[in-house]
Amino acid sequence: MPDAKTATLVVDKDFVISEIDPRLYGSFVEHLGRCVYGGIFEKGHPTADRDGFRQDVLDLVKELGVSIVRYPGGNFVSGYNWEDGVGPVEKRPRKLELAWRTIEPNWVGVNEFARWASKVGTAVNMSVNLGTRGPDEARALVEYCNHPSGSYWSDMRISHGQKEPHRIKLWCLGNEMDGPWQICHKTAAEYGRAAVEAAKVMRWVDPDIELVACGSSHPRMPTFPDYDATVLEHAYEQVNYVSLHSYYGNQENDTANFLAKSLEMDSYIKSVVAVCDTTRARKRSKKTLNLSFDEWNVWYHSHENDRKITPWTIAPPQVEDSYTFEDALLAGCLVMTLMKHADRVKVACLAQLVNVIAPIMTVTGGPAWRQTIFYPFLHASRYGRGRSLQTILRSPRYDTKEYTDVPLLECSAAHNPEKGELSIFAVNRDQSADLALECDLRSFDGLSGVTHTVMDSRDLKAVNTKDAQPVKPREAAGAKLDKGRLSVKLPPLSWNVLRMSAR
């Protein structure tokens, strides 16, 4: 066995899990708190463009490399009339928004958001309301967004100043429909039937769209995974993906247990894959259903503050977690877990993008900055392209109150043959000691050069603010690559990115 503080890793270019779908590095914008108003959109801000979008935020989103953004919810969508957000802004209604108990002014709607996404260079993942509404409103929205011209809804879009269709490819059939907190939540059978009928007419309007059915709201729901199984009994052949949502917290301040929660995500993904494949076998289908993990993040810091917010205001500071260095380590473990399931997880959305449990924070009228969780997502989005590789790991392990056999090293690897790059991502969970990592990379011809980016901190609870950003990556020395063997020391409690040329 390896030494107690040594991990060994074999990475082989032929051990391919799957091509990584770029949409694995997606995010989420909901009409919640200051995500839209004061986040991506703020007329009068010093950096705002003529459409009212904050350029400082837009630049940070571009830097993050977000490939697709889910919109407009979330719980919000189950009470949303999309028609309220189109046409002349001055004629749009102000509505009581029941999901989050705010006032929705409808200053931003479908066309504005699509324009923002175009500026960023990201695709749109549009959600339809299957709470208070149904298939008719859903197919009308597809027609409004995607049909070129010559019909009622497409011509309405043109009359609103948007001549070209948005050509939105990916659509979510509602949101968390099993949750009692959801407006008009449904039983699995009720939702399954609604999803089938919505899917049918939406595809009649545009046969090229892809559809995501709602799975359970999270793996701790009492009806999981039966809800998912029943929904898929109805909708398996009509959809392309089933959704997963999960958030993770450290309310008990147990670092060892908190950093092991990526094992829970791993188990959750495997369970939903099993449900999909069981349904496939039962239906004798030739179709493989993939997964959209369209809400994931750390979320627990803001719960107490949210109880104090005055209802029925516009864009209050809801769900604004100030992320610690410790949170960034788990975020790194979570994004690596998604990469390791790239064969079935084709879409994933870090929830959310700005201000609301987000990698980017702003001050209304003031600056924007990068939270601690910005960096692991940035590195994965930038370097985790190409093929996800199966890693053969031997690592010291530990137990927590919830998990057993937790490896000190969490890792994933991506090989981009087109660019001739190999990237290894790693978190050392050890709280006090370096972890020596020995990697066998001899299958890669002509492997040369190694850069080691590390993010660590002496303060687990360190946060980045508008005034100071102490948590950020640095370049480290000491990694050695010789004849296909890599040796490196990973600092205690650290996020690491090792990059090499593999032409």
Q: Which residues are catalytically annotated? A: 176, 295
CB-based contacts of 432, cutoff 8 Å, min separation 6: 492
Tokens of 251: 């309310």
Give whole-number Cα distances, 187 to 71, 176, 217, in Å: 24, 11, 13
Cβ(413)–Cβ(14) under 8 Å?
no
Assign 3-class secondary structure to 166-206.
CCCCEEEECCCCCCCCCCCCCCHHHHHHHHHHHHHHHHHHC
C-alpha to C-alpha distance for 188 and 179, rounded to whole angstroms: 11
* CA-to-CA dists, residue 25 to 68, 296, 377, angstroms: 7, 11, 8
Helix (H, G, I), strand (E, B) or coil at 99: coil
Angle at alpha carbon of residue 222, lines to 250 and 199, rounded to 5°: 105
Residues for the chain: how many in total? 503
Among 457, 439, 458, smallest CA distance to 500 is for: 439
Q: Helix (H, G, I), strand (E, B), or coil: what is residue 24?
A: helix
DSSP string spanning 241-292?
Answer: EEEEEEEE--TT--HHHHTTTHHHHHHHHHHHHHHHHHHHHHHT-SPPPEEE
